[in-house]
Copies of this chain bind each other. A is one copy, B any other.
């Protein structure tokens, strides 16, 4: 079972956890992304996330479906935020539950790794003296 959401409001980590938790599973693994205050030596002021929404939801769902078919996991919740985020705020939460914890760890890491590769979401880092689209250039 999947819960895939793209939201412009602060993410609820506990909502993701509540979706995946169940008396039928032995445990859940959760990844919580955080907006870092630095990129290399530069201080980040804020981040701006933009998405191609229908496709981003499609791609997140495909990743979750691949995780479900690859690993022995039970439920997956992926929430991603868009808009302006301050330092310390949470752009992404991925929760995975499984009868055996090894599969939950593997599937959760797979989902965040793939999300960063294929989901059409773009992050702009804003510094005091400029801004860059992350990963745009080699």
Inter-chain contact B32/A26, CB cutoff 8 Å: no
- Chain A interface size, under 10 / 10 to 19 / 20 to 34 / 35 or more: 20 to 34
| Nearest-Cβ distance from residue A133 to partner chain B, whole angstroms | 18
Asked if A17 CB lies within 8 Å of chain B CBs, one says yes
Judge if A101 is at the interface, Cβ distance under 8 Å.
Answer: yes
A101: min CB distance to chain B, Å? 6
Give the secondary structure class of A's interface.
mixed
Tell whether, in the assembled complex, residue A32 and residue B30 are in contact, meaning their CB atoms are under 8 Å apart: yes
Contacting B at CB under 8 A, from A105-122, are 105, 108-109, 112
A15-30 vs B, Cβ < 8 Å mask (1 yes, 0 no):
0010001111111111
Interface residues of A (CB under 8 A from B): 13-14, 17, 21-38, 87-88, 97, 99, 101-102, 104-105, 108-109, 112
